[in-house]
Amino acid sequence: MRTESNTEDHLSSELEPPIVSGMPWRVTQVEPLTNYCLRVTFRDGLTGIVDLARLIHAPDAGIFAALTDPARFAEVTLEYGAVTWPGGIDLAPDAMHQALQQSPVWTP
């Protein structure tokens, strides 16, 4: 039975600073809507709608095909400023931000 603690393990987790980003394209809020859409808000206040219906139902949807189940689609969350779903599915926040600067609805 090991009784001593590994000081290095404790120090590394205590000394690492929290991730803080000034990037305006970091997503701060995401809300699932009907018809495979999301309402997103970014750090700089930009808001918009991301319409994923075409992507999710495309023959070459790949990993996004898993989101055809509305319950699974609703499991959307944020991780480090990116829109994510269980199973390693995510959207690039910088691409969303750039597209939503041009139009209030983005259809990737």
Domain contains 18: no
**Block residue for tokens 């495309």:** 58
Domain contains 5: no
Domain contains 40: yes
Contacts of 72 (CB under 8 A, 6+ apart): 66, 85, 86
Domain contains 71: yes
Beta-strand runs (E) in the chain: 27-32, 37-42, 47-51, 77-79, 82-85, 89-90, 105-106
Domain contains 91: yes
**Confidence category of residue 16, pLDDT binned at 50, 70, 90:** low
Domain contains 77: yes
Q: List the structure tokens of 107.
A: 């259809």
Q: Domain count for the chain, please give it.
A: 1
Domain contains 12: no
Cβ neighbours of 70 (radius 10 Å):
11
The overall pTM is greater than 0.95: no
Question: What is the extent of the structural domain holding 55?
Answer: 26-106
Q: Tell me if 31 sits within 8 A of 47, measured CB to CB.
A: no
What's the pLDDT tens digit per position in 54-94? Answer: 999 999 999 999 999 999 999 999 999 999 999 999 999 99
Domain contains 20: no
Task: Assign residue 93 the CATH number of its domain.
Answer: 3.30.2020.10
Q: Give φ, ψ of 50 to 5 degrees.
A: -110, 115
Please, is 27 exposed, middle or buried when counting C-beta atoms within 10 Å of its C-beta (0-12, 13-18, 19+)?
A: buried
